[in-house]
């Protein structure tokens, strides 16, 4: 068959005209033969007479665009272009008028129109149909076999077979050996058999309790997703919908800060509910939580808050203590820095920034006496000796005889001052003692101790003969002075500066002396002249200090709102730290007889606590706050400046920055 | 005293933890593989107590794993499979590069795969453990089954998820274990009680997903891989407990019924079977053809007394809930979510059908006269049958949550629906309870709902008013006389509108009794204040925190109570007719 095809083709080939170059559109009807159709019929006899064949060959004719001629004929003469090119109108007229228009073809090489003859048109038609160009060609001639189809006994050729057809192929051998080697080495594996076990089966058919590993006990199962509340409903109750402001706030919040991760929405019917746009996100975040979050068991504290409140004895059972404000002592015109009650409890002395010291009768609130001293009064202290009446007032420390009350007491006081006999040899002292005379003496001034520096605090010893004054100074050892009134002697007990001294105090019974610096309280033995104890207050800055009349306990108020109770027998650390006040503490005080102590602070309140100290050493002191007393107004951010108890009654005095003194009973 | 010097960070917590990168190196895995392994094995990071010690003095943020966990991973056979797969991919790429097509084919035939059966068994040694952890698996599979079959993950995964979820839904229908349903804006929540475990899952609404670009689908796919394995085993086991054939087959009776219809032109036989299963309208075939479940009576233990009675009562209620829609015939209109409603209704014993063109498996036509309810979600219907209720889909959900058939009047065609409440909220005392819930609870107790919502509101507002007034008077208790006077006053006020009322009677002026009570209260408050002062620092902190939380909740409740939207709540009349 193949050969026959070959033959057919070879027969066909010469029929096609040499160099025939025709492009005819398949669907175009013959009437509209384009003039662009290029033909070059050499065989047509009708053209022989006027043979103007171009000799330029098969070249793009636009090369001759700029020349008047278009090529050369067989004789070597120029073939000139027609003078006038046909334009569209000519074309149209031609199309309308020329009956042979459909068989006219424009020859680009000669720039002439050629009318096709009948044979040529016929040829074109045949070619269009896919027939052979030659009319006489028979395409179905009977085929003649080159070889016979019968099997012959003799070979066609006599050539012997190759040697390689007898011996095994080397290439194949190489390939096979490679495969064998690969199989041997395990590089090629046999095809895996298909899995026959079902995909799912009863995995937990044999639940073996021993199979539970130790890890399962440690395993923290992932917490379940939070269940939705009403606000997530597609149709929530209207109170769960956000208002306009809430919605704005929600939109402005960061995604992490939002309480709800979505905006509650209301849809009138289920049909109107759209897809939730963050659905895949939320699922993905859950996945991340599951494998990225460390898991921890958090013990939730499940206590009743009422159980946390300590059970204290009722304040009612701890009476008496001051509960109500009963008297206000008005008269000062500036902050009342310090107050002190007389040992009998009949009088009260107060010192103020308006440079006066006032004496009050406690029961009536009447100002008995006003003394002008030349400067702001920082501290006043009434002599604890009931037989003598001396008040130490500072700036320069003044000893006053108020001249109030019992005549005997007044005279005995004066006698104490006058009975002084100067010693034989005069010693150089840190302060100068000067006796007051004239009008000053009549006012009550008795002695003036001129200190080298400003005095901040004065304090009497329990017996009433010794007096300590504090002159805070960071850079010298002259900060504390102890004076003896009967001998008019002064001594400086400390040789070294241990820090800025805030306040000092005498032990009520034993010869101990307490010195509070900024953060520590040092206890000195005055007889042995040595340091006995150093109390760590854990405060930033001590403001005031008071010693229990028993002498074994001490309270310290500090500017960082704390009150530290020390049990001196127990430890050098505070037994209890009370943070009752909101602002800096200014004054603390113990009652002489009742188990009470008070603290006054800048928040304008005085807090009375019950502080029972037992004789039994094994029992710790009982501290119960019993009353918060309010009354002082806060002026210039200062509230209560000093507190002191009445010596016999459960009453407390407090002086404040609002220039008043108040008595709470 | 001699001995070697102790080196830092060579004992104690520093050796108990390992950073992620070190763990990865130890296992010789890429980060992606390590992540996959952790997901499959359920290993999560640990937060050490002293980060600086563990981090060898540095405070750089690092992820720590327990060293024990990583050692545990070392023995995992799947790690080898991961490496094998890596090699396989390399070989395949090489074969492609060299155009060795036979080699490619051979490699393809021997593609390494792995099974997760042993991991599932190891992570969940007992069936109940597995069941407890199935919430996420369910939600994930339901999500994946709604994905389009293009792009984001393998088609096999999607079809497998679909198959498993259909199996699950069929199980829930057969065991009637659905308890609560909730239409949220995210999707539909379902809660079922399976073998005593409460299982909650979320199904998105049937919409095409807008796939986000910031989500790593590989992580999700790994989780899904694990979940499908777990889920399949659980399904198998659950089917076994109910004596059902697994993989599920339709009842022969039901199958023949369904066959009668012209489904040849619907889909191929293999495909339409899953569709028929997912239609949920027919019951499943059992291994042993038994009659309906026999009721096994709960044994009585007389010693337990009240507890026992309560349990019995609960049991009864549950049984009643299972038969909630029994005997009702529903027809679903085409605009309602067919699958979810069919699932819920079938779970409670109703018969469901839908239009034939909507889905395969509809058993009766709209024209059926015995249909009792038609679920419709459009404002109006042209042709209505007089002997059936036309209700909105929320009725079904609310009824299921209320464990009773609610009156249908609120849910009629075109009416404004009452709010849809979450059944998962359990109000403690002090929490805000929406008025609808109060009404529902009254209904459940058997009281006739005489009050309308507006009345309920106003009543509550009255209470609030009273509260406020009490607050005004410093929260003190009043004696009876005062109370009466006050109420009289209030009545007067109400009757006469804006008239000036006589001055309020202060209790401490009127009687010494009230004074005493007040004093006593004040004293108590003072005592408490003083006691709080004496609290230890630690306890005070805790106390403050608790009180802060309490205050916040009360603030929230009060803000809900006087929400501005409340007065505009519409008023509807309620008939006390209860449908039976």
The answer to whether the Cβ–Cβ distance between A293 and B45 falls below 8 Å is yes
> Which residue out of B229, B530, B537, B538 would a mutagenesis test of the A interface target, given it has the greatest number of A Cβ atoms within 10 Å?
B530
The minimal CB distance from B212 to the residues A200, A238, A281 is found for A281
Instruction: Give the minimum alpha-carbon distance from A538 to chain B in angstroms, rounded to a whole number.
Output: 15
Q: Are A377 and A393 in contact (CB under 8 A)?
A: yes
Which backbone phi and psi does B39 adopt, to 5 degrees?
Answer: -65, -45
Token pair 């992570």 is found at B123
Higher local confidence (pLDDT), A426 or B78: B78
Which tokens is A582 given? 């909101």
Nearest CA in chain B to A627: B530
User: Residue A22: its pLDDT value, please?
Assistant: 40
pLDDT of residue A3: 38
B182 vs A contacts (CB less than 8 Å): 228, 232-233
ipTM: 0.83
CB contact under 8 A, A294 and B237: no
| Residue B74 burial (CB count, 10 A) | 11
Would you state the pLDDT for residue A38?
Answer: 38
Is the alpha carbon torsion for A362, A363, A369, A370 positive or negative? positive
Contact B468, B474 (CB under 8 A): no
Q: A127-136, A307-316, B560-569: which has the minimum mean pLDDT?
A: B560-569
- Characterize the bridge pairing of strands A563-567 and A576-578: antiparallel
Q: Which residues of A touch B422 (CB under 8 A)?
A: 227-230, 232-233
Mutate: best of B111, B185, B560, partner A, most A CBs <10 A: B185
Question: What is the SS3 assignment for B182?
Answer: strand
Higher pLDDT, A400 or B264: A400
Distance from CA of B220 to the nearest CA of A (A): 7
Half-sphere exposure of residue A595: CA atoms within 13 angstroms, side-chain side: 16
Peptide bond into A316 cis (omega under 30): no
- H/E segment holding residue B489: helix B480-496
- Please say if the pLDDT value at position A627 is more than 70: yes
B423 touches chain A (CB under 8 A): no
Residue B474 pLDDT: 41
Residue pair A82/A109 in contact by the 8 Å Cβ criterion = no
Kindly tell me the sign of the dihedral angle through the C-alpha atoms of A493, A499, A504, A507. Answer: negative
pLDDT at A440 over 80: no
3-class DSSP state for residue B369? coil
Q: Do B424 and A277 touch (CB under 8 A)?
A: no
B571 touches chain A (CB under 8 A): no
Token pair for residue A609?
């606590």
Cβ–Cβ under 8 Å, residues A485 and A474: no
The residues in A 161-220 lying below 8 A from B, measured between CB atoms, are: 188-189, 191-192, 199-204, 207-208, 211-213, 215-216, 219
SS3 A630: strand
Q: Do B110 and A189 touch (CB under 8 A)?
A: yes
pLDDT in tens, B209-235: 888 889 999 999 999 999 999 999 999
Contacts of B528 in chain A (CB under 8 A): 309
Interface of A with B in 623-642 (CB under 8 A): 623-628
B495 in helix, strand or coil?
Answer: helix
CB–CB contact A309 B436 (8 Å) = no
Q: How high is the pLDDT of residue A175?
A: 92
Encode burial over A542-555: b for 16+ CB neighbours within 10 A, e otherwise: bbbbbbbbeebbbb
Question: B-contacting residues of A 393-412, CB under 8 Å?
Answer: none
For residue B21, pLDDT beyond 80: yes
pLDDT score for B511: 53
- Which of the residue ranges A55-69, A271-285, B284-298 would you say has the lowest mean pLDDT? B284-298
What is the token pair recorded at B571?
Answer: 């008023």
Q: What is the pLDDT, as a whole number, of residue B423?
A: 92
pLDDT at B246 over 70: yes
Q: Does B548 touch chain A (CB under 8 A)?
A: no
A628 and B560: CB-CB below 8 Å?
Answer: no
Two structure tokens written together for B542: 């805790």
Q: Which residues numbered 10-29 in A keep a CB inside 8 Å of some CB on B?
A: none
* pLDDT interval class at B262 (50, 70, 90): low
The answer to whether the CB of A52 falls within 8 A of the CB of A112 is: yes
C-alpha–C-alpha distance, residues A508 and A390, integer Å: 18
| CA–centroid distance for B503 within its chain | 55
Q: What's the CA gap between B534 and A555, in Å, rounded?
A: 16
Q: What is the mean pLDDT of chain A?
A: 82
Scored b (16 or more CB within 10 A) or e, A478-502 reads ebbbbbebeebebeebbeeeeebbb
- According to the per-residue pLDDT averaged within each range, which of A630-639, B18-27, B287-296 is highest? B18-27
B268 touches A at CB < 8 Å:
no
Identify the helix (H) or strand (E) that includes residue A214: helix A214-218
Residue B504 has what pLDDT? 54
Dist CA A83 CA A38 (whole Å) = 21
Quick check: B530 and A312 CB within 8 A? yes
Q: Quote the pLDDT of residue B282.
A: 75
Percent of chain B at pLDDT exceeding 90: 36
Mean pLDDT computed over A77-97: 85
What is the average pLDDT value for chain B, to the nearest integer?
Answer: 80
Nearest-by-CA chain B residue for A623: B534
Q: Is residue B193 classed as helix, strand or coil in its secondary structure?
A: strand
Closest CA relative to residue A41, chosen from A158, A140, A123, A101: A123
Q: Is-contact A588 A599, C-beta < 8 A?
A: yes
How far is residue A560's CA from residue B424's CA, in Å, rounded to a whole number? 50
Rounded to 5 degrees, what are φ and ψ at A308? -75, -25
Q: Residue A320: is the preceding peptide bond cis (ω within 30°)? A: yes
Query: What is the rounded average pLDDT of the residues A596-615?
Result: 88
Q: Cβ of A299 under 8 Å from any chain B Cβ?
A: no
Identify the pLDDT of residue A403. 73
Helix, strand, coil fractions of chain A, as percent rounded to 5: 20, 25, 55
Q: What is the CA radius of gyration of chain B?
A: 32
pLDDT confidence bin for B266, thresholds 50/70/90: low
Tokens 């009807």, residue located:
A29
- pLDDT tens column, A520-576: 999 998 888 888 889 888 888 999 999 988 888 899 999 998 999 988 888 888 888
Q: What is the mean pLDDT of residues A17-22?
A: 39
Predicted local confidence at residue B294, as pLDDT: 47
* Range B8-17 average pLDDT: 86
pLDDT of residue A312: 83
A319 within 8 A of A337, measured Cβ to Cβ: no
| Integer Cα distance of A65 and A239 in angstroms | 90
A265 touches chain B (CB under 8 A): yes
Neighbours of B336 (CB within 10 A): 22
pLDDT at B482: 44
Nearest CA in chain B to A230: B422
Question: Which pLDDT belongs to residue A45?
Answer: 42
pLDDT tens digits for B192-210? Answer: 999 989 999 999 999 988 8
What's the pLDDT at B357? Answer: 84
Give the mean pLDDT of A318-332. 87
Between the CA atoms of A244, A246, A251 and A254, what dihedral angle is there, to the nearest 10 degrees? Answer: 170
pLDDT in tens, B23-71: 999 999 999 999 999 999 999 999 998 888 888 888 888 999 999 999 9
Spatial separation of the C-alpha atoms in residues B355 and B28, rounded to whole Å: 58
Return the residue in A189, A207, A263, A275 with the most chain B beta carbons within 10 A, the one to mutate for interface testing.
A275
Q: Is B1 exposed, middle or buried (0-12, 13-18, 19+ CB in 10 A)?
A: exposed
Q: Considering CB atoms only, which of B183, B220, B233 is closest to A270?
A: B183
Measured between beta carbons, the chain A residues lying within 8 angstroms of B212 are: 280-281
Q: Which residue in B has a C-alpha nearest to residue A193's C-alpha?
A: B110
pLDDT category of residue B565 using cuts at 50, 70 and 90 = low
Nearest-by-Cβ selection for B535 from A191, A271, A310:
A310
Q: How far apart are CA B90 and CA A127, in angstroms?
A: 58
pLDDT band at B487 (very low <50, low <70, confident <90, very high): very low
At residue B184, the 3 state secondary structure works out as strand
CA distance A555 to chain B (A): 16
CA end-to-end span of chain B: 90
Q: Which of B42, B117, B534 sits opposite A203 (nearest CB)?
A: B117
Please name the member of B377, B539, B543 whose beta carbon is closest to the beta carbon of A269: B377
């Amino acid at each position: 068959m193949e050969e026959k095809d070959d033959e057919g083709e070879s027969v066909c080939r010469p029929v096609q005209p040499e160099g025939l170059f025709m492009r005819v559109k398949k669907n175009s009807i013959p009437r509209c033969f384009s003039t662009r159709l290029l033909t070059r019929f050499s065989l047509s006899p009708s053209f022989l007479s006027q043979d103007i064949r171009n000799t330029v060959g098969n070249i793009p004719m636009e090369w001759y665009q700029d020349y008047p001629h278009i090529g050369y004929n067989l004789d070597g003469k120029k073939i000139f272009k027609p003078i006038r090119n046909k334009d569209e109108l000519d074309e149209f007229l031609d199309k309308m008028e020329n009956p042979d228009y459909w068989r006219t073809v424009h020859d680009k090489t000669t720039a002439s129109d050629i009318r096709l003859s009948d044979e040529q048109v016929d040829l074109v038609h045949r070619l269009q149909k896919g027939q052979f160009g030659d009319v006489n060609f028979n395409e179905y001639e009977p085929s003649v076999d080159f070889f016979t189809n019968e099997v012959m006994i003799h070979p066609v050729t006599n050539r012997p077979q190759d040697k390689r057809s007898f011996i095994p192929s080397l290439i194949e051998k190489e390939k096979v050996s490679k495969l064998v080697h690969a199989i041997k080495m395990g590089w090629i594996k046999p095809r895996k058999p298909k899995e026959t076990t079902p995909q799912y089966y009863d995995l937990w058919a044999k639940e073996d309790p021993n199979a539970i590993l130790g890890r399962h006990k440690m395993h923290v199962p992932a917490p379940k997703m939070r269940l939705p509340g009403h606000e997530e409903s597609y149709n929530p109750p209207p109170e769960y919908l956000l208002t306009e402001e809430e919605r704005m706030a929600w939109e402005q919040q960061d995604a992490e800060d939002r309480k709800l991760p979505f905006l509650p929405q209301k849809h009138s019917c289920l049909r109107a509910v759209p897809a939730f746009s963050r659905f895949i996100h939320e699922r993905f975040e859950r996945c991340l939580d599951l494998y990225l979050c460390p898991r921890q068991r958090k013990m939730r504290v499940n206590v009743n808050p009422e159980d946390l409140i300590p059970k204290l004895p009722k304040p009612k059972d701890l009476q008496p203590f001051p509960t109500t404000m009963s008297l206000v002592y008005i008269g000062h015109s500036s902050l009342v820095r310090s107050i002190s009650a007389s040992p009998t409890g009949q009088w009260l002395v107060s010192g103020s920034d308006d440079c006066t010291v006032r004496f009050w009768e406690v029961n009536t609130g009447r100002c008995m006496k006003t003394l002008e001293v030349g400067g702001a009064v920082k501290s006043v202290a009434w002599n604890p000796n009931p037989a003598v009446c001396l008040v130490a007032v500072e700036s320069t420390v003044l000893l006053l005889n108020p001249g109030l009350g019992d005549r005997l007491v007044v005279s005995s006081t004066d006698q104490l001052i006058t009975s002084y006999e100067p010693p034989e040899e005069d010693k150089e002292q840190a302060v100068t003692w000067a006796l007051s005379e004239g009008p000053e003496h009549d006012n009550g001034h008795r002695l003036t101790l001129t200190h080298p520096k400003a005095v901040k605090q004065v304090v009497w010893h329990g017996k009433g003969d010794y007096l300590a004054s504090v002159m805070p100074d960071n850079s010298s050892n002259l900060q504390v002075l102890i004076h003896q009134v009967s001998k008019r002697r002064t001594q400086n007990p400390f040789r070294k500066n241990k820090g800025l001294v805030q306040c000092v105090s005498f032990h009520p019974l034993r010869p101990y002396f307490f010195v509070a610096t900024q953060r520590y309280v040092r206890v000195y033995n005055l007889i042995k002249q040595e340091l006995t104890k150093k109390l760590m207050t854990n405060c930033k800055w001590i403001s005031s200090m008071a010693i229990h009349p028993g002498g074994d306990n001490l309270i310290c108020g500090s500017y960082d709102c704390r009150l530290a109770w020390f049990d001196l027998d127990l430890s050098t650390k505070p037994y209890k730290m009370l943070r009752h006040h909101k602002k800096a503490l200014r004054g603390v005080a113990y009652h002489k007889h009742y188990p009470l102590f008070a603290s006054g602070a800048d928040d304008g309140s005085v807090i009375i606590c019950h502080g029972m100290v037992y004789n039994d050493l094994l029992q710790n002191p009982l501290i119960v706050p019993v009353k918060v007393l309010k009354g002082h107004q806060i002026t210039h951010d200062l509230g209560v400046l000093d507190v002191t108890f009445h010596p016999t009654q459960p009453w407390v005095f407090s002086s404040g920055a609002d220039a008043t003194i108040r008595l709470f009973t | 005293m001699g001995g070697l010097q102790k080196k830092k960070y060579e004992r104690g917590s520093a050796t108990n933890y390992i950073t992620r990168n070190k763990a990865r190196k130890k296992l010789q895995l890429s980060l992606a593989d390590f992540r996959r392994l952790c997901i499959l094995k359920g290993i999560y990071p640990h937060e050490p107590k002293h980060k600086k010690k563990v981090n060898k003095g540095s405070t750089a943020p690092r992820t720590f794993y327990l060293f024990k966990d990583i050692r545990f991973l070392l023995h995992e056979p799947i790690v080898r499979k991961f490496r094998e797969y890596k090699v396989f991919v390399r070989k395949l790429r090489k074969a492609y590069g060299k155009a060795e097509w036979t080699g490619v084919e051979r490699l393809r035939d021997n593609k390494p795969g792995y099974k997760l059966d042993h991991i599932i068994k190891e992570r969940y040694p007992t069936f109940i453990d597995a069941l407890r952890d199935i919430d996420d698996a369910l939600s994930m599979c339901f999500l994946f089954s709604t994905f389009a079959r293009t792009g984001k993950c393998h088609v096999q995964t999607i079809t497998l998820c679909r198959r498993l979820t259909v199996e699950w839904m069929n199980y829930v229908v057969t065991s009637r274990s659905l308890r609560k349903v909730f239409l949220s804006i995210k999707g539909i929540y379902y809660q079922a009680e399976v073998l005593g475990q409460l299982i909650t899952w979320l199904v998105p609404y049937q919409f095409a997903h807008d796939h986000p670009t910031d989500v790593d689908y590989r992580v999700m796919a790994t989780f899904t891989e694990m979940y499908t394995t777990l889920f399949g085993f659980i399904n198998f086991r659950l089917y076994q407990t109910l004596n059902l054939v697994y993989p599920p087959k339709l009842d022969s009776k039901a199958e023949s019924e369904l066959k009668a219809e012209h489904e040849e032109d619907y889909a191929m036989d293999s495909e339409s079977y899953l569709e028929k299963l997912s239609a949920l309208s027919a019951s499943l075939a059992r291994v042993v053809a038994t009659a309906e479940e026999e009721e096994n009576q709960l044994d009585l233990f007389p010693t337990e007394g009240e507890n026992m009675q309560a349990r019995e009562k609960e049991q009864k209620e549950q049984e009643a809930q299972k038969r909630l829609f029994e005997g009702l015939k529903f027809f679903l209109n085409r605009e309602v979510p067919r699958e979810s409603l069919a699932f819920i209704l079938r779970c409670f014993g109703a018969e469901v059908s839908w239009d034939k063109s909507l889905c395969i498996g509809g058993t009766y036509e709209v024209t059926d006269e015995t249909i009792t309810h038609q679920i419709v979600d459009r404002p109006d219907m042209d042709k209505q049958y007089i002997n059936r209720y036309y209700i909105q889909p929320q009725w079904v959900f609310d009824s299921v949550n209320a464990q009773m058939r609610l009156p249908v009047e609120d849910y009629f065609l075109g009416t404004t629906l009452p709010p849809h409440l979450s059944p998962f909220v359990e109000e403690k005392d002090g929490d805000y309870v929406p008025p609808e819930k109060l009404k529902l609870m009254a209904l459940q107790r058997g009281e006739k709902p005489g009050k309308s919502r507006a009345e309920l509101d106003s009543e509550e507002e009255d209470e609030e008013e009273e509260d406020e007034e009490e607050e005004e008077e410093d929260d003190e208790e009043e004696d009876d006389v005062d109370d009466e006077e006050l109420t009289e006053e209030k009545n007067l006020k109400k009757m006469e509108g804006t008239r000036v009322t006589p001055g309020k009677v202060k209790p401490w002026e009127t009687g010494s009794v009230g004074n005493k009570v007040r004093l006593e209260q004040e004293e108590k408050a003072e005592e408490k204040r003083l006691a709080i002062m004496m609290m230890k620092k630690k306890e005070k902190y805790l106390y403050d925190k608790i009180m802060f939380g309490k205050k916040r909740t009360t603030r929230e409740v009060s803000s809900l109570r006087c929400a501005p939207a409340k007065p505009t709540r519409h008023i509807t009349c309620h008939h006390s007719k209860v449908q039976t």
